[in-house]
């Protein structure tokens, strides 16, 4: 039987958090593509911010500096 691909709760929370950060970057003037590319290129940095407990708003502010 094939193993079902499921995300663990931390991965799901990280993805949701990144979606929220993306929305805030777009609201600040980035295109969706620009926001996605930035998050992808800086994935480790964003992951660190997530695990450090930053809110999506705080992370977006850091990304815009």
Q: What is the pLDDT of residues 13-43, one digit of tens each?
A: 999 999 999 999 999 999 999 999 999 999 9
23-59 core/surface letters (b: 16 or more CB in 10 A; e: else) = ebbbeeebeeeebbebbeeeeeebeebbeeebebeeb
pLDDT band at residue 5 using 50, 70 and 90 as cut-offs: confident
Provide, rounded to the nearest whole percent, the portion of the chain with pLDDT above 70: 94
């Amino acid at each position: 039987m094939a193993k079902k691909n499921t995300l663990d709760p931390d991965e799901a929370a990280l993805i949701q958090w990144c979606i929220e950060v993306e929305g805030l970057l777009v609201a600040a003037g980035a295109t969706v593509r620009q926001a996605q590319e930035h998050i992808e290129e800086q994935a480790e940095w964003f992951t660190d911010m997530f695990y450090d407990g930053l809110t999506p708003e705080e992370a977006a502010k850091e990304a815009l500096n």
